[in-house]
Amino acid sequence: MSDLTTKTAAEIAALVAGGETSAVEVTQAHLDRIAAVDDQVHAFLHVDTEGALAAARAVDERRAAGEPLGPLAGVPVAVKDVLATKGVPTTVGSKILEGWRPPYDATIVERLRAAGTVMLGKTNMDEFAMGSSTEYSAYGPTRNPWDLNRIPGGSGGGSSAALAAYEAPLAIGSDTGGSIRQPGAVTGTVGAKPTYGGTSRYGLVAFSSSLDTPGPCARTVLDAALLHEAIGGHDPRDSTSIPQPVPDVVAAAKLGATGDLTGVKLGIVTEFAGEGAEPGVLAVFREAVDALTKLGAEIVEVSCPHFTYALPAYYLIAPSECSSNLARFDGVRFGLRVGDDGSRSLEEVMSLTREAGFGPEVKRRIMLGTYALSSGYYDAYYGQAQKVRTLITRDFTAAFEQVDALISPTTPFVAFPIGARTSDPYQMYLADLFTIPTNLYGGPGISVPCGLSDGLPVGLQVMAPTMADDRMYRVAAALESAVGTFTPPAL
Amino acid sequence: MTTTLPSYDDVVARYEPVIGLETHVELGTRTKMFCGCPTDFGGEPNTRVCPVCLGLPGSLPVVNKAAVEATIRIGLALNCSIADWCRFARKNYFYPDMPKNFQISQYDEPLCVDGYLDVEVNGETVRIGIERVHMEEDTGKTLHVGGATGRIHGATESLVDYNRAGIPLVEIVTKPIPGTGELAPEVARAYVTELRDVIRSLGVSDVRMEEGSLRCDVNTSLNLPGQEWGTRTETKNVNSLRSVERAVRSEMLRQASVLDAGGRITQETRHFQEDTGDTRPGRSKETATDYRYFPEPDLVPIAPDPAWVAELKAALPELPRVHRRRLQEQWGLSDLDMQSVLNAGAVELIEQTVAAGATPAAARKWWLGELSRRANETGVELVDVGATPEQVAELQGLVDAGKLNDKLARTVLEGVVAGEGSPTEVMTSRNLEVVSDTGALTAAVDEAIAANPDIADKIRSGKVAAAGALVGAVMKTTRGQADAKTVRELILARLGA
pLDDT per position as a tens digit, B343-400: 888 998 999 999 999 999 999 999 999 999 999 898 888 988 999 999 999 999 999 9
Any CB–CB contact under 8 A between B158 and chain A? yes
Query: Which domains are assigned to chain B?
Result: 8-310 (no CATH), 320-429 (no CATH), 438-494 (1.10.10)
SS3 A310: helix
Q: What's the number of CA atoms in the CB half-sphere (13 Å) around residue B80?
A: 27
Q: Distance from A340 to chain B by nearest Cα, in Å?
A: 10
Any CB–CB contact under 8 A between B160 and chain A? yes
Please give the pLDDT value at position A136: 97
Instruction: For residue A471, give Cα distances in angstroms to A53, A216, A233, A266.
Output: 36, 16, 17, 11
Please give the pLDDT value at position B150: 56
Query: Is A90–B298 a contact, with Cβ atoms under 8 angstroms apart?
Result: no
Q: Residue B71 and residue A439: Cα distance in Å, rounded? A: 34
A402 burial via Cβ count (<10 Å: 0-12, 13-18, 19+): exposed
> Which of A325, A345, A389 to mutate to test binding with chain B, by most B CBs within 10 Å of its CB?
A325
Query: Is B294–A342 a contact, with Cβ atoms under 8 angstroms apart?
Result: no
Q: What's phi and psi for B395, nearest 5 deg?
A: -60, -45
Q: Are A81 and A122 in contact (CB under 8 A)?
A: yes
Q: Identify which of A158, A126, A164, A162 has the alpha carbon closest to the alpha carbon of residue A146.
A: A164
Query: Is A333–B99 a contact, with Cβ atoms under 8 angstroms apart?
Result: yes
- A83, A205, A346 member nearest B96 (Cβ): A346
Query: Is B59–A334 a contact, with Cβ atoms under 8 angstroms apart?
Result: no
Instruction: For residue B205, give Cα distances in angstroms to B112, B134, B170, B210.
Output: 18, 15, 10, 14
Query: Is B292–A330 a contact, with Cβ atoms under 8 angstroms apart?
Result: no
Q: Identify which of B265, B264, B269 has the alpha carbon closest to the alpha carbon of residue B284.
A: B269
Q: Identify which of B214, B279, B275, B273 has the alpha carbon closest to the alpha carbon of residue B252.
A: B279
Please give the pLDDT value at position B153: 62
Confidence of residue B283 (pLDDT cuts 50, 70, 90): low
Q: Residue A151 and residue B56: Cα distance in Å, rounded? A: 31
Our CA angle for B161, B163, B169, nearest 5°, is: 120
Tell me whether residue A270 is in a domain. Answer: no
Please report residues of B whose CB lies closer than 8 A to that of A373.
92, 292-294
pLDDT of B190 above 90: yes
B positions 49-108 inside 8 Å of A (CB): 51, 54-63, 90, 92, 94, 96, 99-102
Any CB–CB contact under 8 A between A321 and chain B? yes
A441 burial via Cβ count (<10 Å: 0-12, 13-18, 19+): buried
Strand order of the β-sheet with B294-295 is B102-105, B89-92, B294-295
Q: Distance from A93 to chain B by nearest Cα, in Å?
A: 13
Tell me whether residue A7 is in a domain. Answer: yes
Q: What's phi and psi for B419, nearest 5 deg?
A: 85, 25
Query: Is A202–B58 a contact, with Cβ atoms under 8 angstroms apart?
Result: yes
Instruction: For residue A174, give Cα distances in angstroms to A82, A413, A436, B384.
Output: 8, 21, 13, 56
Q: Residue B427 and residue B420: Cα distance in Å, rounded? A: 10
Please report residues of B whose CB lies closer than 8 A to that of A332.
96, 160
Q: Residue B207 and residue B215: Cα distance in Å, rounded? A: 9
Any CB–CB contact under 8 A between A371 and chain B? no
Any CB–CB contact under 8 A between A83 and chain B? yes
Q: Distance from B293 to chain A by nearest Cα, in Å?
A: 7
Tell me whether residue A145 is in a domain. Answer: yes
Tell me whether residue A90 is in a domain. Answer: yes
Please give the pLDDT value at position B154: 65
Any CB–CB contact under 8 A between B146 and chain A? no
Any CB–CB contact under 8 A between A377 and chain B? no
Please give the pLDDT value at position B404: 86
Please give the pLDDT value at position B497: 66
Q: Return all residues near B172 (Cβ < 8 A) that are at least 6 apart.
A: B22, B23, B24, B25, B74, B78, B130, B132, B133, B195
Q: Return all residues near A318 (Cβ < 8 A) that are at least 6 apart.
A: A176, A177, A207, A208, A211, A365, A369
Which position among A133, A155, A208, A241 bears the catalytic label?
A155
pLDDT tens for residues B437-473? 667 788 888 888 888 888 888 888 888 888 888 888 8
Please report residues of B whose CB lies closer than 8 A to that of A324.
90, 92, 102, 292, 294
Tell me whether residue A301 is in a domain. Answer: no
> Which of A122, A317, A333, A355 to mutate to test binding with chain B, by most B CBs within 10 Å of its CB?
A333
- Tell me the ipTM for this assembly: 0.96
Q: What's the number of CA atoms in the CB half-sphere (13 Å) around residue A211?
A: 30
Please report residues of A whose CB lies closer than 8 A to that of B294.
320-321, 324, 373, 378, 382
Average pLDDT for residues B465-493, to the nearest whole number? 83
Please give the pLDDT value at position A170: 98
Query: Is A104–B51 a contact, with Cβ atoms under 8 angstroms apart?
Result: yes
pLDDT tens for residues B11-20? 999 999 999 9
SS3 B459: helix
Q: Distance from B57 to chain A by nearest Cα, in Å?
A: 5
Q: Are B163 and B116 in contact (CB under 8 A)?
A: no
Tell me whether residue A28 is in a domain. Answer: yes
Any CB–CB contact under 8 A between B265 and chain A? no
Please report residues of A whose CB lies closer than 8 A to that of B63.
239
pLDDT of B286 above 60: no
Q: Are A201 and B60 in contact (CB under 8 A)?
A: yes
Any CB–CB contact under 8 A between B145 and chain A? no
Query: Is B102–A324 a contact, with Cβ atoms under 8 angstroms apart?
Result: yes
Tell me whether residue A155 is one of the annotated catalytic residues: yes
Q: What is the DSSP letter of A97?
A: G
Q: Residue A172 and residue A122: Cα distance in Å, rounded? A: 9
Please give the pLDDT value at position B490: 83
Domain, as residue range, for A150:
3-257
Tell me whether residue A343 is one of the annotated catalytic residues: no
Q: Identify which of A194, A190, A196, A209 has the alpha carbon closest to the alpha carbon of residue A129.
A: A209
Which position among A133, A159, A160, A179 bears the catalytic label?
A179
Provide the 10 A C-beta neighbour count for residue B170: 23
For chain B, give me the number of helices (H) and strands (E)? Answer: 17, 15
Rg of chain B on CA atoms, in Å: 29
Q: Are A72 and A13 in contact (CB under 8 A)?
A: yes
Distance of alpha carbon A287 from its chain centroid, rounded? Answer: 25
Confidence of residue B339 (pLDDT cuts 50, 70, 90): confident
B179 burial via Cβ count (<10 Å: 0-12, 13-18, 19+): exposed
Q: Identify which of B137, B142, B140, B163 has the alpha carbon closest to the alpha carbon of residue B37.
A: B163
SS3 A71: coil
Q: How far apart are the first and last CA of chain B?
A: 74
Distance of alpha carbon A479 from its chain centroid, rounded? Answer: 20
Please report residues of A whose CB lies closer than 8 A to that of B54.
333
Length of chain B: 497
Interface size A-B, in CB pairs within 8 Å, comes to: 103
Which residues of chain A register pLDDT less than 50? none
Please report residues of B whose CB lies closer than 8 A to that of A323.
92, 292
**Mean pLDDT rounded to a whole number for chain B:** 91
Q: Which range has the worst mean pLDDT, A477-491, B32-46, B219-233?
A: B32-46
Q: Which residue of chain A has the CA closest to B90?
A: A324
Q: Are A88 and A51 in contact (CB under 8 A)?
A: yes
Q: Are A175 and A193 in contact (CB under 8 A)?
A: yes
Instruction: Give chain A's domain count.
Output: 1
pLDDT of B149 above 90: no
Confidence of residue B1 (pLDDT cuts 50, 70, 90): very low
Tell me whether residue A33 is in a domain. Answer: yes
SS3 B50: coil
Q: Which residue of chain B has the CA closest to A201?
A: B58
Q: Are B244 and B188 in contact (CB under 8 A)?
A: yes
Give, to the nearest 10 degrees, the angle between helix B438-451 and helix B453-460: 110
Please report residues of B whose CB lies closer than 8 A to that of A202.
58-60
Distance of alpha carbon A172 from its chain centroid, rounded? Answer: 7
Any CB–CB contact under 8 A between A360 and chain B? no
pLDDT tens for residues B401-449? 888 888 889 999 999 999 999 999 999 888 888 776 667 788 888 888 8
Q: Identify which of A456, A375, A201 has the alpha carbon closest to the alpha carbon of residue B91.
A: A375
Q: Are B421 and B429 in contact (CB under 8 A)?
A: yes
Q: Distance from A201 to chain B by nearest Cα, in Å?
A: 8
SS3 B131: strand
Tell me whether residue A230 is in a domain. Answer: yes
Q: Distance from B93 to chain A by nearest Cα, in Å?
A: 8
Query: Is A240–B300 a contact, with Cβ atoms under 8 angstroms apart?
Result: yes
Tell me whether residue A179 is one of the annotated catalytic residues: yes
CATH number at residue A130: 3.90.1300.10
